[in-house]
Structure 1
Amino acid sequence: MSIDNLNWKILECLQQNARMSNAEIGRQVGVSSPAVSERIKKMEDCGIIQHYHTTVSPFEAGYQLKALITIRAFMGMLKPFLEKVKTYDEVINCYRITGNENIVMEVVLKNQKHLETFIDQLIVYGETKTQIVLSHVIKHNPVKPLK
């Protein structure tokens, strides 16, 4: 499925507010609510729209730290780690990457002691590096049309 200008306008609306009604989207993009609904359904069916979710503030939920942790896996430890990482509640995003490290994770933690305990669990899989997140510069920037 190709994404035409109208679909991009609908996607823009949904990326700003996934709870926006089809009627409101239709008013903003200049088509009927049923036309918006049909286009959204087609984009969901072909995988352009993948999920709708709620973003929770880790800090308001009681976490004091957010960190990025990279791992350079030991020989033979990458595949076991890729299975184990799915069980860690602290990990909110995990990417397999190129370069010197194999993995980068975004984690939320209660405090420094929690960070230390978490790193102790990781070091059996490889060398870790940790950066504490101070603030977001860009947060949930929308995907835009290719130029």
Structure 2
Amino acid sequence: MDKINWAILEELQKNARVSFTEIGRKIGLTSPAVAERVKKMEDAGVIKGYQTKLSHQKMGYQLRAIINLRAFTGRLKAFLETVKNFEEIVNCYRITGNENIIMEVVLHDQVHLEKLIDKLITYGETRTHIILSDVIEDAPVRQWKD
């Protein structure tokens, strides 16, 4: 990864739909040169894909929460096998520490949250934190500068 690739990634993280011509204009490369570098980063797995960002709130999900799960003995594997079936879970990480799992969930309301927790407690003990607002939203990955 050189400085030019980092500059391309920075532009793509701002707007993945920006044209190669526009990126090239900003960083001083031709459109074909940008396209070639992007293709190489895609092939290498540096760029894993492009996605559409949704507003959960405008889709009717008025409540967001972080839920930590401390799995009961012998229940972690079962949870890991079924976690993708929970439509409310938008991010899920296996972590170190007291809890095994941390999840970001989107919900319609408190009743929806209660129903989700009722499902989750079959796998372990939960701890829930209601999200009030985003402090850093969609922070770009940046090149480390020593």
1:112 aligns with one of 110, 113, 121:
110
Where does structure 1 differ by over 4 angstroms across 4 or more consecutive aligned residues?
Answer: none
Matched, 1:132 2:125: no
Instruction: Quote the Cα distance in structure 2 between the aligned partners of 1:128 and 1:86.
Output: 18
Letter in 1 for 2:19: S
Letter in 1 for 2:64: K
- Give the root-mean-square deviation of aligned CA atoms: 0.5
Structure 1 residue 77: Cα displacement: 0.5
* Deviation per residue, 1:35-93 (Å, 9 max, x gap): 00000000000011111101101101111100000000000100100011110100100
The alignment's TM-score, normalised by the length of structure 2, stands at: 0.98
2:15 aligns with one of 2, 14, 17:
17
Instruction: Quote the Cα distance in structure 2 between the aligned partners of 1:72 and 1:24.
Output: 48
Letter in 2 for 1:36: V
Structure 2: gaps (5+ residues)? none
* Corresponding residue number in structure 2 for 1:44: 42
Matched, 1:143 2:132: no
Matches within 5 A, 1:15-94: 15-94=13-92
Structure 1: gaps (5+ residues)? none
Question: Which secondary structure does the structure 2 equivalent of 1:60 belong to?
Answer: helix
The alignment's TM-score, normalised by the length of structure 1, stands at: 0.97
Task: Tell me the number of residue pairs that the alignment of Structure 1 and Structure 2 aligns.
Answer: 145
Instruction: Quote the Cα distance in structure 2 between the aligned partners of 1:95 and 1:109.
Output: 18
Instruction: Quote the Cα distance in structure 2 between the aligned partners of 1:18 and 1:51.
Output: 10
Instruction: Quote the Cα distance in structure 2 between the aligned partners of 1:64 and 1:13.
Output: 31
